Amino acid sequence: MTGSVLKVYLVAGELSGDILGASLMRALKARYPGVAFRGIGGPRMLAEGIDSRYPLETLSVMGLVEVLKHLPRLIGVRRELRRDALAWQPDIMLGIDAPDFNLGLERQLHDAGMTTAHYVSPSVWAWRQGRVKGIAKSVDAMLTFLPFEADFYARHRVPVAFVGHPLADEMPLKTDRGAMRRELGLPEEGELLALLPGSRANEIRFLGATFLAAAERLCSKRPALRFVVPAATAQRRAELETLIADYPSLAERLTLLEGQSREAMVAADAVLLASGTAALEAMLCHRPMLVAYKMAPATHWLAKRLVKTDWISLPNLIAGAGLVPELIQDAASPAAIAAALDEMLTDSAGRAALESRFAEMHAGLQRGASERAVDAIAALIAGRPLPESVAAEGLDAPIAGRL
C-alpha cells in the first residue's frame, strides 16, 4: 500500500458496471476498513463512497457512429482520468467492463508503473482474438466471470483469475415454479412458456413477430399452453403491445409483465429467448430454453466471418456442449421454433434432466465473485502470484467436467 489506507481507482462505464463495482467496493471495505475509492461510478458506487470524477453516463455511448461522434470528448476524459490517477497514486486501478475505454486507460497507467486489472472479460475469445496481445500489455491480471474465459487467457499466458459470476451468487440454487406463478397471478396448473425477444428495439423488430408467430403455431398443437412476456422497459412494452395486437388468438393466453424477466423464467416450463445475458439468467433459473436470434443481413454476414465459437449462447459455451438448441437467422423461422419447442415441452424427462444439469452448472459459478476478486486484488497489490483460490484451476480438464 502507498500509505496506511488502501487506495483503489475504479472506472465503471454503465449501469451493470455500477452494480458490479458497488458489490466489489463492499467486499473491499469488509477486508480493508477505511479503503478509499476514486474514479467513475454511478449511484450504487457513490453510495459506497467513491469520489466520482465524472457521471456514470459519460462513457455510455453505443454504436460505431455514436462513438465516432463522441470520440474527441472520450479521449479528453481518458486523458484527464490518467492525470487524476497518476496524481492520486492508487495501489491499484481496476477497469469494470467498458473495455474499449478502460483497456486503453489501463495500458497508459500500466506503462506508467501502476498495478492494473480488468473486471469482466470482453468477448475476445469469440472475435478479434488478436486483442489479447494488447490486453496482456495493459493489465497485471484479468478477472473473469466464466471458466472458459479463464481458459482462453491462460492459453495466451495472460495472468487470470476465475472469480465466478455475481449473478450466480445473487440467484438461489432452488426455485419454486408454483410459488412464482402464484406471485405473478398466473394459473398454477398447465404449461407455461416464457417469451423474451430481447431488451433492445432492434431485437424486438427482428424477433418480436417471429416469436409471436411461433407461439400462435404452438397453440394449434397445445390448446392449454399459456405465455408470459416480460417487457424490459416501458418503450419495449409499447412495441410489444403493438405486435401482440396482430395476434388476437393469443390475447387470452398471454400475460405481459413489467420487467420481472427472472420471475417469468422461474414460473415457466420452458423459455424462448434471444441470445445474451438472458440465456445465462435462464440457466441460473434452471429452465430449459431455445435460443433464437436474427439480425440485419449485413451484420449476420460479417458476424459469420468474425465470430470464432461453435455456439452463441452462454450455457453452451460454459458447458462446452450443445445443451441448448440455437436457431440463427434464416433457421429461426416460426415453424422451426414451434417444432423445437413442441418437442421440448413434450419431453418432460429431458426437461427435468436439463434443469438438474443447469443447477449443477449454477453451483459451479456460485463462488462469491466479489470476495474472490478481492483475493486477486490483494495478491496483485502485494506483488504475489494469484492465489490458488482464484487462479484458473484445472485448465487441462474439459469445462463441462468441472461444472
User: What is the structure's pLDDT at 97?
Assistant: 86
Same domain, 226 and 275: yes
Q: What is the mean pLDDT of the chain?
A: 87
Same domain? For 76 and 137 the reply is yes
pLDDT value at residue 312: 77
Count of alpha carbons within 13 angstroms of residue 13, beta-carbon side? 21
The pLDDT value recorded for residue 66 is 46
- Decide if 264 is inside a domain: yes
Residues 50 and 117 in one domain: yes
Statement: residue 62 has pLDDT above 60: no
Are 275 and 293 spatial neighbours (Cβ–Cβ below 8 Å)?
yes
Q: What is the predicted pLDDT for the residue at 196? A: 93
Domain enclosing residue 157, as ranges = 7-164+367-402
Q: Is residue 103 domain-resident?
A: yes
Q: How far is the C-alpha of 113 from the C-alpha of 107, rounded, in Å?
A: 10
**Do the beta carbons of residue 24 and residue 373 sit within 8 Å?**
yes
Determine the pLDDT at residue 305. 58
Question: Is 172 within the bounds of a domain?
Answer: no
- Name 94's bridge partners: 10, 117
Write out pLDDT tens, residues 174-184. 999 999 999 99
Q: Residue 1 falls within a domain, yes or no?
A: no
Q: Higher pLDDT residue, 76 or 355?
A: 355
Stretch 68-96: mean pLDDT: 89
Identify the pLDDT of residue 397. Answer: 37
Count the Cβ atoms, other than its own, within 10 Å of residue 237. Answer: 17
On whether residue 40 sits in a domain, the answer given is: yes
**Grid cell for residue 117:** 486489472
- Predicted local distance difference test score (pLDDT) of residue 3: 53
pLDDT band of residue 388 (cuts 50, 70, 90) is: low
Same domain, 332 and 184: yes
Residue 342 pLDDT > 90, yes or no? yes
Q: What is the pLDDT of residue 129?
A: 76
Residue 171, domain member (yes or no): no
Q: What is the pLDDT of residues 110-120, one digit of tens each?
A: 999 999 999 98
- The alpha carbon of residue 75 and the mean position of all alpha carbons in its chain are separated, in whole angstroms, by 27
In this prediction, residue 389 carries a pLDDT of 56
Does a structural domain hold residue 338? yes
CATH number where 386 lies: 3.40.50.2000
* Whether 201 and 137 share a structural domain: no
Whether 399 and 147 have beta carbons less than 8 Å apart is answered as yes
Overall number of domains in the chain? 2
- Indicate whether 101 and 150 sit together in one domain: yes
- Assess if residue 2 is contained within a domain: no
- What's the pLDDT tens digit per position in 302-340? 666 566 667 778 899 888 899 999 998 889 899 999 999
Tell me: the pLDDT tens digits for 4-51?
Answer: 789 999 999 877 788 899 999 999 999 999 999 999 998 999 999 999
Report the pLDDT value the prediction gives residue 233, as an integer from 0 to 100: 81
Are 303 and 180 a contacting pair, CB within 8 Å?
Answer: no
For residues 135 and 224, membership in a common domain is answered with no
Which H or E element spans position 254? Answer: strand 254-258
339 and 224 fall within a common domain: yes
pLDDT of residue 205: 85
3-state secondary structure of 392: coil
Same domain, 60 and 98: yes
Same domain membership, residue 249 and residue 114: no
pLDDT, tens only, 109-167? 999 999 999 998 887 766 667 789 999 999 999 999 988 889 889 999 999 999 999 88
How far apart CA 328 and CA 312 sit, in angstroms, is: 9
Residues 360, 371: one domain? no
Does residue 234 register a pLDDT over 80? yes
Identify the band that residue 63 occupies on the pLDDT scale cut at 50, 70 and 90. very low
Residues 298, 317 contacting (CB under 8 angstroms): no
The pTM (predicted TM-score) of the whole model is 0.77
Q: Which residues contact 228 (CB under 8 A, 6 or more apart)?
A: 184, 186, 192, 193, 194, 195, 254, 255, 257, 264, 267, 268
Mean pLDDT of 56-85: 73
Q: Are residue 62 and residue 189 in the same domain, yes or no?
A: no
